[in-house]
């Protein structure tokens, strides 16, 4: 999956916890969210100098807007590796985030798994 397709899928499937997401889809969306974060953060810092509340509001709005789509993308990525989406909760356990990171790096299950076709 290419960059544009991954971004389109990221926003289109923002509330879909079923199915699978490929490794390329996950990492292209991750790159996009982080690249867009840089100018949003810079804008929030500059605005907070002038109007402190507005800078913080923009920063929080960006996080809130992208939190749900990214969580659902992570669940679908875990499904793609044959794991339950509940493994995403490991990020709240010390060193559990490392395990989740490794799961996102693994290859997709070949063919169909219990979460759907590849």
pTM for the complete prediction? 0.85
**Tens digit of pLDDT for each residue in 20-33?**
888 889 999 999 99
Cα–Cα distance, 91 to 70 (Å, whole number): 14
- Tell me what pLDDT residue 15 has: 83
| Residue appearing with tokens 């356990």 | 93
* Per-residue pLDDT at 38: 94
pLDDT score of 100: 92
Q: What is the pLDDT of residue 114?
A: 81
- Cα–Cα distance measured from residue 107 to residue 53, given in angstroms and rounded to the nearest whole number: 44
Q: List the chain residues with pLDDT less than 70.
A: none
- The SS3 of residue 54 is helix
Which pLDDT belongs to residue 37?
94
Predicted local distance difference test score (pLDDT) of residue 62: 93
């Amino acid at each position: 999956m290419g960059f544009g397709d991954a971004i389109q899928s990221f926003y289109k499937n923002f509330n879909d916890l079923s199915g699978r997401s490929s490794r390329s889809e996950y990492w292209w969306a991750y790159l996009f969210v982080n690249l867009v974060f840089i100018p949003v953060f810079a804008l929030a810092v500059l605005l907070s100098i002038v109007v402190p509340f507005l800078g913080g509001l923009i920063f929080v709005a960006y996080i809130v807007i992208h939190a749900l789509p990214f969580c659902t993308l992570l669940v679908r990525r875990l499904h793609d590796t044959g794991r339950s989406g509940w493994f995403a909760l490991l990020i709240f356990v010390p060193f559990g985030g490392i395990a989740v990171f490794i799961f996102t790096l693994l290859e997709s299950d070949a063919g169909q798994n219990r979460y759907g076709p590849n």
